[in-house]
Structure 1
């Protein structure tokens, strides 16, 4: 389920955590994503196997700490609602 809010579009089914990173000016809203599984051909066994690869976190810079907190709360609520 891809959600769009404040210029950010994220598939909430792939999110495993949401964090805030405060900086001197504003901060980052960080989405940690589940690993991606891809079929990879194994030359030794001559079979296709699913391999897990880590996804890099998605960071979105927000100019003020107050806006960062507001976006964080909105995204966490949408994420929780998507699990119901």
Structure 2
């Protein structure tokens, strides 16, 4: 669950182990009214920290090509 500083639920992220050193993002959503407020980026930064602590070296995900907001969020 993704929550803000007021402890409101703003979205969720779900990942799982893909193989020994890769985590796979199964689902990720920031509620529409909270988008473009940096929650997505901050969530991914926290996820990156968490998976490193669990000894994963990569994060894998799939995005539908029509999902332009997601593409812009995931650009490295």
- Structure with greater helix percent: 2
Normalising by structure 1, what TM-score?
0.33
Normalising by structure 2, what TM-score?
0.35
- Structure with greater strand percent: 1
- Kindly name which structure, 1 or 2, has the bigger radius of gyration based on alpha carbons: 1
